[in-house]
Amino acid sequence: MTILVTGSAGFIGANFVLDWLAQSDEPVVSLDKLTYAGNRQNLASLECDPRHCFVHGDIGDTALVAELLAGHQPRAVLNFAAESHVDRSIDGPEDFIQTNIVGTFRLLEAVKAYWQTLASADGEAFRFLHVSTDEVYGSLSPSDAAFTESTAYQPNSPYSASKAASDHLVRAYFHTYGLPVLTTNCSNNYGPYHFPEKLIPLVIHNALAGQPLPVYGDGQQIRDWLYVTDHCSAIRRVLAAGRLGETYNVGGCNEKSNLDVVRSICDLLDELQPRQSCAPVGASNLTDGPASSYRSLIRFVKDRPGHDRRYAIDASKLARELGWEPAQTFESGIRQTVRWYLDNQDWVTHITSGAYRDWMSKHYS
């Protein structure tokens, strides 16, 4: 009994692998291309673990995937591999088309060919679980009901459009070929090992460095925040008991504005690692808080194109059918997250390379 996890060195994939092996002795074969956000250090604790086999490779490499499937005979493939940053998709959409659409297609082709060779019982037990995002549904107004699994797709960025396309491919392989698939669409994840281009790790990183905390527009964009280990538990539950061909929305039941999230992080840092009083950076465009508070570093920047105003997940189907609910509130999860980054500054230093600094300067200057 083995599972194959793609995108295993990224944020959610790495957390899933670590969580899986903390819960089970079933071996994991990891496949990751190790692009800028894929980090072997995320899986460093498994280097000598015989239950874990890491392979450096691309889901678009059909021959490699076929070799792994034939050699390890997994009972399930979980696809976390994706380009996932909206800003980067606006700046360079082709990588998103290649990985999220073409890569998913080639992965599906290899998995279908493998599945068709399995004996009857093994074929019936096999699963392909595709991890996607709530961003495929588009944007909500403040009064709109939360996204359900039947909400029409209305992606507004190259990233969300590429993920929508991958979702449709997965659905098509179920209805056309009978491939036993499951899809999850999650809200905004946060937690350990999150690459510091996304809001929460970016704010923690910049705050500790005494740098401005960039907030797009007026900061009132609403997101539902899901602690990453809650997401991992939801995926395990869907893999174990989800109905074939079905989609399950995974949410944290924590709608917060971006500005409120940034302020929460500042307040926790004020408590856990107070800063010395000093003149704030870029003081002409800062918000509340004395100079001694991290809030004094908040700076509003020009909004990004096509910025969705609100996401909200209705995860009642997952609760009703599979009995899953998140274990963490936003308050407990964000405290654990800030504490982890304070305790793991070597990890942050290792990944914030010159290329990362160039990206930050380009997009938030």
Whether 20 contacts 1, CB under 8 Å:
no
Please identify which of the residues 83, 87, 134, 308 carries the catalytic annotation. 134
State the pLDDT at residue 137.
98
Give the pLDDT confidence score for residue 306 in this predicted structure.
87
Please compute, for residue 114, the number of CA atoms within 13 A of its CA located in the half-sphere on the CB side.
28
For tokens 């009642």, the residue is 316
- State the Cα–Cα distance between residues 80 and 42, nearest whole angstrom: 15
Q: Cα–Cα distance between 18 and 26 in angstroms, integer?
A: 12
**pLDDT, tens only, 188-209:** 999 999 998 899 999 999 999 9
- pLDDT classification of 143: cutoffs 50, 70, 90: very high
**283 pLDDT above the threshold of 60:** no
Catalytic residue among 32, 58, 137, 159: 159
Which of 351 and 159 is assigned the larger pLDDT? 159
Catalytic residue among 32, 83, 135, 255: 135
pLDDT score recorded for residue 36: 81
Fold of the domain spanning 3-188+227-253+312-327: Rossmann fold (3.40.50)
User: Within a 10 A sphere around the Cβ of 271, how many other Cβ atoms?
Assistant: 10
Q: Is 32 a catalytic residue?
A: no
Q: What is the pLDDT of residues 14-45, one digit of tens each?
A: 999 999 999 999 999 999 999 888 899 999 99
The yes-or-no verdict on residue 87 having pLDDT over 90 is no
pLDDT at residue number 364: 55
State yes or no: is 346 an active-site residue: no
What confidence score (pLDDT) does residue 279 get?
45
The CA–CA distances, whole Å, from 257 to 135, 199, 225, 348 equal 16, 11, 10, 25
pLDDT exceeds 80 at position 309:
yes
Nearest to 235 by CA among 131, 83, 111: 131
Whether residue 284 has pLDDT greater than 50: no
Nearest-angstrom CA–CA distance, 14 and 83: 15
Q: Give residue for tokens 């194959």.
A: 4
State the pLDDT at residue 352.
79
Please confirm, yes or no, whether 134 is among the known catalytic residues: yes
Tell the residue number behind the tokens 């230093």, with chain if given: 349
Residue 357 — pLDDT band, cuts 50, 70, 90?
low
> Is pLDDT above 80 for 90?
yes
Which pLDDT score is estimated for 340? 98
Contacts of 66 (CB under 8 A, 6+ apart): 110, 113, 114
| pLDDT reading at 355 higher than 70 | no
| Average pLDDT, rounded, for the chain | 93
Rounded Cα–Cα distance for residues 42 and 244 (Å): 31
Which amino acid is present at 90?
I
Q: Is the pTM of this model over 0.85?
A: yes
Q: Give the single-character DSSP code of 40.
A: G
